[in-house]
Amino acid sequence: MRSGYGHMVIDQVVDSLRAMRAERQERLRAVTTRAEALAYQREVRDKIASSFGPFPRRTALHARVTGHVQRAGYRIEKVILESRPGCWVTGALYIPDGLQGAAPGVLGSCGHSLPGKAMDYNQQFPQHLVASGFVVFVFDPLNQGERIQYVGIPGSEETAASSVLAHNMMAKQLELIGEDMPSWFAWDAIRALDYLLSRPEVDPARVGMTGCSGGGTMTTWMWGLDERLTMAAPSCFVTTFLSNLEDEIPADAEQYPVGVLAAGLEQADFYLARAPKPVILLGERYDFFDRRGTQEAFAEMQRFYGLLGAPEGSLAYYEGPDAHGFRRADMEEMVRFFARQAGIATVRPVAQTEVLDASLLNATPSGNVIEAGGTPVFAMTAKRAQELAKSRPALSAEALPATLSELLGIKELPGVPHYRNLRPERADGAAYARCAVETEGGIRAILRKRLAQPERAHALEVAGTAWLYLPHLSAEEELASPDPAALQGEGDLYALDVRGLGEAMQDDALDFWHHYNVDYLLHGHGLMFEESYLGRRVFDVLSTLNLLYNEGAQEVRLYGRGQGAILALFAGLLDPRVVKVVLKNGPASFQEWATVPIVQWPAANVVPGVLKHLDVADCLRLLGERAQVIDPWGPGMAPRAAGAA
């Protein structure tokens, strides 16, 4: 499959992020006094709260200790609590022996490993802390440790066995109902902090948070969100959003806060939000989270802390010599830093840590909260989707396209785009003309036309009737399949690769259908910019329709298959000139996606919040006789191959 425009989309997003950062850096440079720093800080806090909120109402934690393990010098209590009704969170509370009064506490957040709190480094860092007198609560994130969500679900084995795949799976469904994974993760952490502070052993005036990788993520988000924390030590996470994008590092769903880039924030802003509270940034020289971004963030923090008159030693940086991970040296630096801030005079080094079997740390009988009676996230999502289906009013013929445009972020309809004539090509005994349609900025959608007269390849001439075929994955591959071939006799036949598909597909070492690929990365950045990646693909279709009409078409019909059927559905609604919309292998409903455990459709096909307003049936009702539905696909998406029928 030809892929001649592989960096086109990611480069456009890089340009957008660079422009945002240039504005942010100009604002920061203008902050030169303490009063201005405090004003910037208040603005940043409001933006962070807006990105993650509103949170649900605090409900009873129903926390209980289900057992304990005594070790030399400390004990581990096995804890279970409810962050929201039915959502059970498991954790391990490390308490030093012989406490004399309230001790400093630390909330420990786990990185992306299936064992969660039982992972070796997630047992080792609390041992380093507890030896020096800290009380530490390490909790399991969703689908890690005892919180595997997919228990006894046929076909869910791959998802259940991967923390990142499960996070991204749940996120797709939460987005459909207008919620998001960063907020769910943050709420679990907030309620875990509620529990830690409820313990009489903990001094609420001395409470830190630490964690590596995904744990560093939650430390960062929580630092901007929760003023109760008094010190922080994120490890192997803090860099810049731009570094991650330029290095093409996809993040997990909980690492894409909605609207954070639209608000003009960088990762360092989460720390500026609570300056001059004590922070140490921990990293590794060969981490995939680019250390240049870590150094940039630290330099911004140094200047900002200086403006606020931060006490000496309240800001620190440590870079280890290794690759990604929470290593012994990182842990020791973290303990020394926290001890200084907590007023602990003597740090007791740990000669040898131990790693207990996960079963010894389990707070539930079988090691799983769902088996113990908890409710999986996908079931909560399904319940909310069902409530929305019952309560949302039917949109009028005027309101539905306007609502859809808003959901897709299409603020204004496109004009007639410029196009470039590309080299024609031959395939499967047929000749094809090719055009690069410049839909916006540096984006080009690739338009193909099957030619009856190959010598006429160098001019775009459109007959009175034209079909525009929108493929599941690749126009080049699907034009040779039976569906578009059958359309040839009904007018000119065109096929379009919108951004990120077919010839316009991003360069990627991973298969297109992989849950962690560049297509997913771009969807995540769309969330952070509060732009719909799917909406920009629909924009490509609308631009191309304008081009076809401008070049002589009197009647245009859309034929979309799979992913292309979603584009055809929305473009047909937003352009009433389209006389027919054929939808093959499209989704039967978005509601169905939200009410099953596993959805194989890529995240880029999700419209955030769509089920608050409309579903496929509403769109079909408005299209009326213009629409033809053929063999819709369910959440499993049926064949993944581009040309499979």
> pLDDT-derived band of residue 4, with 50, 70 and 90 as boundaries?
confident
The average pLDDT across 367-377 equals 98
Average pLDDT, the chain: 94
Q: List, as one string, the DSSP characters of 100-150.
A: -S-EEEEEEE--S-TTGGGSHHHHHHHHHHHHTT-EEEEEPPTTSTT----
Contacts with 461 (C-beta within 8 Å, 6 or more apart), sequence order: 551, 552
Checking if the pLDDT of 45 tops 90, the result is yes
Which of 511, 599, 467, 589 has the alpha carbon at shortest distance from 172? 599
Checking if the pLDDT of 286 tops 50, the result is yes
Checking if the pLDDT of 340 tops 80, the result is yes
Bin 349: left if φ > 0, else alpha if -120 < ψ < 50, else beta: beta
Q: Tens of pLDDT along 130-185? A: 999 999 999 999 999 999 999 999 989 999 999 999 999 999 999 999 999 999 99
Helix axes 518-528, 8-29, angle to 10 degrees: 30
Continuous H helices in 308-420: 328-342, 358-361, 377-391, 399-408
Q: Tens of pLDDT along 565-619? A: 999 999 999 999 999 999 999 999 999 999 999 999 999 999 999 999 999 999 9
What is the per-residue pLDDT for 423? 85
Which of 42, 151, 54 has the alpha carbon at shortest distance from 370? 151
Max CA-CA distance within the chain? 91
What is the per-residue pLDDT for 342? 98
Contacts with 610 (C-beta within 8 Å, 6 or more apart), sequence order: 176, 407, 590
Judge whether 324 and 213 are in contact, CB under 8 Å. yes
Q: Beta-carbon neighbour count of residue 162 at 10 Å?
A: 17
Q: Tens of pLDDT along 392-416? A: 999 999 999 999 999 999 988 889 9
Torsion of CA 100, 106, 108, 109, to 10 degrees: 160
Q: Which residue has the tokens 């499993």?
A: 636
> pLDDT-derived band of residue 431, with 50, 70 and 90 as boundaries?
confident
The average pLDDT across 365-370 equals 98
* 182 upstream amide cis, omega within 30 of 0: no
Structure-token pair, residue 387: 């409530």
Calpha distance 52→224 (Å, rounded): 10
Calpha distance 595→176 (Å, rounded): 10
Side by side, the strands of the sheet bearing 74-84 are: 64-71, 74-84, 87-96, 135-139, 103-109, 202-212, 231-235, 279-286, 315-323
Task: Compute the chain's Rg from CA coordinates.
Answer: 27
Q: Which residue has the tokens 């907020």?
A: 183
Checking if the pLDDT of 189 tops 70, the result is yes
Checking if the pLDDT of 641 tops 90, the result is no
Give the residue, 27 or 483, on which the prediction is more confident. 27
Q: Tens of pLDDT along 100-110? A: 999 999 999 99
| % of the chain surpassing 90 pLDDT | 87
Q: Which residue has the tokens 């690759």?
A: 323
Calpha distance 392→256 (Å, rounded): 28
Q: Which residue has the tokens 């769903």?
A: 253
Checking if the pLDDT of 640 tops 90, the result is no
Judge whether 455 and 545 are in contact, CB under 8 Å. no
Checking if the pLDDT of 469 tops 70, the result is yes
Judge whether 446 and 541 are in contact, CB under 8 Å. no
Checking if the pLDDT of 92 tops 70, the result is yes
Burial of 428 per CB tally in 10 Å (0-12, 13-18, 19+)? exposed
What is the per-residue pLDDT for 226? 98
Burial of 560 per CB tally in 10 Å (0-12, 13-18, 19+)? buried
Give the residue, 626 or 481, on which the prediction is more confident. 626
What is the per-residue pLDDT for 459? 65
> pLDDT-derived band of residue 462, with 50, 70 and 90 as boundaries?
confident
> pLDDT-derived band of residue 642, with 50, 70 and 90 as boundaries?
very low
Structure-token pair, residue 178: 């207008």
What is the per-residue pLDDT for 251? 93
